[in-house]
Amino acid sequence: MKKALYVTVVALLTLGLIGCAATNPGGTQQVKCPACGYQFDVPAERP
């Protein structure tokens, strides 16, 4: 019983991390302003 629970928890954590992983390999991320709707690129890291 404990093994099944452990496997289920590990699987859910793995799926959660995959869902949060960056999907844009280009290094920039597009952000949309909620107020005006303008889309702009944001660098992944600060220089």
If one counts the domains in the chain, the total is: 1
As a three-state string, the secondary structure of the chain is CHHHHHHHHHHHHHHHHHHHCCCCCCCEEEEECCCCCCEEEEECCCC
Q: How many residues does the chain have?
A: 47
Question: In the predicted model, what is the mean pLDDT of residues 6-18?
Answer: 88
Please give the residue range of the domain that contains residue 36.
2-43
Q: Please name every residue paired with 30 in a beta bridge, in sequence order, or none if there are none.
A: 41
How sure is the predictor about 9, in pLDDT bands with cuts at 50, 70 and 90? Answer: very high
Which residue would you say has higher pLDDT here, 5 or 27?
A: 5
Q: Are 39 and 30 in contact (CB under 8 A)?
A: yes
CA–CA gap between residue 10 and residue 17 (Å, rounded): 11
In this prediction, residue 43 carries a pLDDT of 72
Task: Record the pTM.
Answer: 0.43
